[in-house]
Structure 1
Amino acid sequence: MLEGKALLDRARALSNRPEDEIARACGYVGPSGRVLKKSFYRALVAAKGYSMPNNGGGRTSASRSSGQGKGMQAEFRTRVHGNGNLLIGHAYTRRLGLEPGQEFRIEIHQETGSIWLLPLEE
């Protein structure tokens, strides 16, 4: 991902293109191929010399441990797919230390609108 002057130069050179295409050309693409618009815009603002507070709302599926601030934070939106499935996402399964093959019982709490995953004993 480009930053600083390199980012500004590249974005300026592509300014006649759609925003998604500019962000993609500057390297702001997630592992799934999704354009990371918020990260791109934040990098542009930072490259212009403005500092923005990091409120932990970065939308990404990874977490960096560079020691400088919080880095990228997991914030994941999902929707029910046409087949009725609901995807939780790698960011959260990794964050919880879940491994492939683990099994859970699902509890639905109507009063709070929450879904609980309870690990099954092996």
Structure 2
Amino acid sequence: MVKQKTGEPLTGEALLQKVKTLATLSKTQKAKACGYYTVTKGGVERVNLLQFLQALIEAEGIILDKPAAERGRDGRSARYRIAVQANGNLLIGTAYTQQMRLQPGDAFELVLGRKHLQLKQLDPID
């Protein structure tokens, strides 16, 4: 079922003021009164409580998540584990090479341990 939007919901200071005037209503009733609902093709009203609560949090000036630009590319961090690819190669990702300040052409010695593999960077050849 495709939902039809019923108008723009309140945000910011307007949302805060409206919620204060609706103090005796339930969360669901407040969300609906502030425009946080949709009407389905069948005419059923569905209240979007999560969007309403998120808008309230933002209107209060509370920031729960860092903006995407501050998190990095997609918010992931290095796990310090790699897996052997299907062709038998080991791929060391950009997160690791940047952290180690590696440049194209840097050489390593592989040291095999009982349960680990260690990379030792070789001195550059001048």
TM bracket (short chain): 0.3 to 0.5
TM-score of the aligned structures, taking structure 2 as reference length:
0.40
Which has the higher relative contact order, 1 or 2, with Cα contacts under 8 A spaced 6 or more apart?
Answer: 2
Larger Rg: 2
